[in-house]
Structure 1
């Protein structure tokens, strides 16, 4: 485990008494912690969203908005819910601590506090927060790997089908439009046979880059298998899907790719479907898209067929 570095952490101190704040700043600054402060609960709620601290030292009893209410509000909002809150409380306020823990506090220190105890608890909860952040980051990376095609970085088949199913359920509920494009690189086997699989991979990446430049952020491009791709177009009727498909087809056909000193022009065939009441499952839409793609390929390639 890497060494603990206080200077990496920002602590927000919240109290309604300035001298209490100053004392805590001096203690924490002496060990290298970065500190900021808020005077009272109202200022704390404004400050926490601006500075996004790693830990909050929060006085329990304050006028206007007390510490328990501040804690409840911070923990109820997604962007601040993960910030650990350590309460500072006078010994006769312990009856309120149960409620504080129920609202999400992680610990408390009794006033007047021992500096060594305060620092030990601060360090413990910052270390825990750091570990939690690292675990969340690791989980996100694993999740991305599980959902991503390793060659292209776009959605893999599993994630693509999961996303498509969710969009299908959404249109059944809200009666929105949904269209799918199924795209296949024409004569891709010839590319692999002539120039090798590394250049085939280069061609696939080039196609993916071109498709991505033609779609919106709400659309999803995924690798369906080999040289075949699917674009899911939420809230898009057939007319809009045809426009997107033609942009993709025309852009790819207009570009050249250098493979082993040869200038190669790639083309794609595209099948399009839009949701109709006859589609009972997302699988039926995908099957129709596959049939329309087959017609585009047997009809001469470098073309679009809509069913």
Structure 2
């Protein structure tokens, strides 16, 4: 797993030491000797993780971190402060500035590499989501960066898994100041609880009695419902090696006892902010996918999706020896609706038409807006006779009740013409089926409209 690591330190010996450690693990290492230089490199998106010293002459590490985390363009880059400062107040100040971790010199090679690898996995996942979400911006959806920068990380839902009463009571009291806390003292029930609870953060003690806390973390990572929920592990100092193992299997962050109140709250906020940001990215990706295959006005699938999915349905029908019906529907005299009542009225008709189509077909049927006032319905495992009954029912539902337009102030009569055919020949081209349905539609319109015409293969 390679990544570009930016080492920021004004002491050349420190830079050389970190550079040697990271290069030995095949990371690409970049260096900066001051905060201004570091910010410029980050602004050019040239690094994946930042190892940041605190004591620098022009701008200290706290200020560099604060600027990175308040800039929508760089807030997602993980920052690890590596410094000789070791007081709890310094560590908390770094975490409050937005640092993902605060390591005190001298840092062991094992701890450093484990943390960098863990954050590299996280950064790569975030980058993949950000890349996919670029489409969301192109289609007008709001990017989550600015809301992520403004997010306080408070108001999260946290599940605390700890079977020591004195421990979980203290931790729950601290966390309850900013979050909603559920405590699960029974580790055998914790995974079920986590899967059902829609939590923003899991906090897991690795010092459970008669239960392996790391196994619980591993199971949470393998379960779909909890795969993306961040995990904050807590352990006694003598279990620090197990914490490093936890980072390898997907633990996001950790704390050693005794727990500092301010540090616990700061690390919880960091993980919750990151969870909300990645969730927003995933939502944007999902929404952009749906928008790419959905007609915005009617909510039906669009022509692009129909052409792709119809080929799959036709292949399945041929392979299984099952019939496949296809109908093309055209709203009669739709241009006159737009001309006489306005395009807003035309849109009202199209929306209501889509609603009535959905009510007239099955869940397995595919309804698409083919273009303008033309629609296509594909009905798997349906012969010509049954499809004709469905088409006639749909025609009556359209003609039988006027359409409300202009917010219900007017009602107009609408009818449709339908051309219907089926895929009967094994391996027949989809284009031929569409052409046959279109020919049947032409006949329906030529014969007076408001009717269904079937054409067998």
Counterpart-to-counterpart distance in 2, 1:173 and 1:16: 56
Indicate the residue corresponding to 1:11 in structure 2: 158
Report the alpha carbon displacement of residue 54 of structure 1 after superposing the two structures with TM. Answer: 0.8
Higher relative contact order (CA 8 A, sep 6+): 1
- Tell me the alpha carbon deviations over residues 77-101 of structure 1, each in whole angstroms, 9 at most, x when there is no partner: 2222111111112222233334423
Residues 279, 299 of structure 1: CA spacing in aligned structure 2 closer, same or farther, 3 A cutoff? farther
Under a length normalisation based on structure 1, what TM-score does the superposition of the two structures give? 0.88
The root-mean-square deviation of aligned C-alpha atoms, in Å, is: 2.5
Match of 1:42 in 2: 188
Map 1:1-307 to 2 at 5 A: 1-4=149-152, 6-7=154-155, 9-29=156-176, 31-172=177-318, 175-257=321-403, 264-306=412-454, 307=456
Following superposition, the deviation at residue 115 of structure 1 comes to: 2.5
5+ residue gaps, structure 1:
none
CA 169–84 in structure 1, closer or farther in 2 if over 3 Å, else same: farther
Q: How many residues align?
A: 305
Asked if 1 retains the 8 angstrom alpha-carbon contact of 2:328 and 2:374, the reply is yes
Distance in 2 separating the partners of 1:303 and 1:235: 23
Query: Which runs of 5 or more structure 2 residues have no equivalent in the other structure?
Result: 1-148
1:12 Cα offset (Å): 0.4
The verdict on how the C-alpha distance between 1:54 and 1:209 changes in structure 2, with shifts beyond 3 A counting, is: same
Q: What is the rounded CA distance, in whole Å, between the counterparts of 2:223 and 2:401 in structure 1?
A: 48
TM superposition shift of 1:6: 1.9
SS at match of 1:217: coil
| Contact 2:323–2:424 (CA under 8 A) maintained in structure 1 | no
Structure 1 pair 273–91 and aligned structure 2 pair: CA distance change class (3 A): farther
- Shift of residue 175, structure 1, vs aligned partner: 5.0
Task: Work out which of the two has the higher radius of gyration on C-alpha atoms and give 1 or 2.
Answer: 2
Stretch of structure 1 that moved more, 171-180 or 200-209: 171-180
Seen in structure 2, the aligned counterparts of structure 1 residues 172 and 104 have a Cα distance that, compared at 3 Å, is: farther
Report the CA distance between 1:25 and its aligned residue.
0.3
* Per-residue deviation, 1:14: 0.3
Change (3 A) 1:166 1:80: farther
Name the SS of the counterpart of 1:79 in structure 2.
Answer: helix
Q: CA deviation at 1:2?
A: 3.3
CA–CA distance in structure 1, aligned partners of residues 265 and 319 of structure 2: 54
Q: Is the 8 A contact 2:153 2:269 kept in 1?
A: no
**Counterpart contact for 2:318–2:427, Cα < 8 Å:** no
Deviations 1:93-120 (A, max 9, x none): 2333344234322121122232332222
Displacement of 1:174 in angstroms is: 5.0
